[in-house]
Structure 1
Amino acid sequence: MSTFYRGLTPGSVDADRGGAVHYGTLSLPAKLLLLAWNGERGKFTGGPDLHLVVRAGALAELAQRGVIVETDGIVTPVTGARTGDTVLDALVELIEESRPRKWRGWMTHRSGNTLNEVRDQLTAHGYLRLERRRVLGVFPVRHWELERAGYAEALQAEAGTVLRGPQSITEVSESEAALVMCAATGKLRPFVTGKDRRRYKDRLTELTDRGGGASLDVTRQMRALRKALASAITAAEAARSSSGGGGD
């Protein structure tokens, strides 16, 4: 079984720098953001729906860890359950405080918040560097540069092996499977292309089920989550197309 690079030492906590990175590894949403790094262009690309992909990763990890479950189609938090990761726990709190929603609803509801929180956390832990700029010398914007290119490149290489083989599905961890499922379904650039999605369609189905591990309930949740993400991406593309913004 391959192991993604460790970000911090196991159990390390630094509340003043964005909170703990649980179990010494980056969370799924954090890894998905790093998969959006385009080394050739020297910047993050990811596509216009990066916020949806990152939110899907957060939901997938919460489901895998048993912090949220599906009850009659509704995403339901387990009472009092937390992960120790500030980004993931912020989403749990949002789910607790909001009206009931299905997976599709949670793909989009305040999904930009999760992306911003992941950026802030990675910046606090030294993976990203924040630069503040002004457009036309007036409008303030925030821009992020990657500080740990080697980490992102290694992550992309290992995730590529999970998607394209020759690694056996049985050798893929549940976390790796969910990572690649979210990235591919969300059309995350530059990690995956349209050709990849067509060529590895069957493998992505296998990875989706692998994301549930031995639990039939979690496997069903991974399937529902993938379907919801695909639906959200399609809707976003249709909205851009109708407004002249283009799609995939």
Structure 2
Amino acid sequence: MEEADVSEGAEPRAGREGSGAARCGRDSLPVLLCLLAPEPSAAAPAVRAGALAELALRGLLTDDAGIATPADPDARCDDPVLDGLLELVAESVPRTWGAWVHSRARRTLDPVCARLAASGELAAHHRRVLGVFPAVSYAAADGERAVRLRVRIAEVLGGAGPLGELPAGEALLAVLAEAAGAAPGTGVERRAALTARAESTALPPGVLHRLCTALSAA
């Protein structure tokens, strides 16, 4: 995986690394987590967690005593998937980050899968429920980008390379993927080190822990 996929970014907050806040579309966290998922159609919590993290990295979601809160209800980021989630959060009753990982998560998953299917990176299978209602499910297509991504995240979780040279955005993606069961597990010490590295991004303190706790409980 190219470093730009997960680590290039917008201006960091003071004392914290940038982490991909300028990414759009194909390299956003929800898209990458969908590509990593062994069963994309069942990856709604992982994809939603990635979208929440992406919005937080962009400064569009803030943390208010554990509640995911829009920084500006009228702000948009020119990504339909992320804008849809931001609008949903703004119009709903306040919820914790963990609650948002699961609440109506398919509203985030379905457009991400459709986008990846349109680019040939997922396989779409169309059918009719009860012979009447159209439905679609998605499967991994194992394209070049997905394969490279899985290999790279497995390396990160396995301890390849000095941690100090690891882009914080890659550490963030690896931690979320492991918590979601979309990547190989790692040891306690490596997980703690990667989490500390991931927390040097612009995520508000405590948000990564809340997202991973919700994913691990899924």
Identify whether the pair has TM-score above 0.5, normalized to the shorter chain.
yes
Please tell me whether Structure 1 or Structure 2 has the larger radius of gyration of its CA atoms: 1
Give the TM-score of the pair, scaled to structure 1: 0.70
**What residue in structure 1 maps to residue 170 of structure 2?**
176
- CA change 1:174–1:81 in 2 (3 A) is farther
**What residue in structure 1 maps to residue 3 of structure 2?**
3
**What residue in structure 2 maps to residue 57 of structure 1?**
50
Within 5 Å, which residues of 2 pair with 1:17-28? 22-23=23-24, 25-28=26-29
The CA deviation string for residues 189-242 of structure 1, in whole angstroms up to 9 with x for no partner, is: xx32xxx24xx2222222223223265x624222232223334x2xxxxxxxxx
Q: 2:208 pairs with 202, 209, 222, which one?
A: 222
- CA change 1:24–1:228 in 2 (3 A) is closer
Give the TM-score of the pair, scaled to structure 2: 0.79
Q: 2:101 pairs with 87, 97, 107, which one?
A: 107
Deviation at 1:149, TM superposition (A): 1.0
Within 5 Å, which residues of 2 pair with 1:32-111? 32-37=33-38, 45=39, 48=42, 50-79=43-72, 80-111=74-105
Whichever residue aligns with residue 212 of structure 1, its letter is E
**What residue in structure 2 maps to residue 16 of structure 1?**
none
**What residue in structure 1 maps to residue 190 of structure 2?**
203
Identical counterparts, % of pairs: 36
- CA change 1:155–1:141 in 2 (3 A) is same
Q: State the secondary structure of the residue aligned to 1:100.
A: coil
Q: When the two structures are aligned, how many residues end up with a matched partner? A: 202
Aligned Cα root-mean-square deviation (Å):
2.9
| Partners of 1:158 and 1:226 in 2: CA distance | 20
| Partners of 1:137 and 1:76 in 2: CA distance | 42
Whichever residue aligns with residue 100 of structure 1, its letter is P
Within 5 Å, which residues of 2 pair with 1:154-169? 154-169=148-163
**Gap regions ≥5 residues in structure 1:** 7-20, 38-44, 234-248
Contact conserved, 2:48 with 2:105, CA < 8 A, in 1?
yes
| Partners of 1:47 and 1:187 in 2: CA distance | 14
Q: 1:132 pairs with 101, 126, 130, which one?
A: 126
Whichever residue aligns with residue 120 of structure 1, its letter is A
Contact conserved, 2:47 with 2:108, CA < 8 A, in 1?
yes
The CA deviation string for residues 104-142 of structure 1, in whole angstroms up to 9 with x for no partner, is: 211111011111121122223342343323468666431
Whichever residue aligns with residue 48 of structure 2, its letter is R
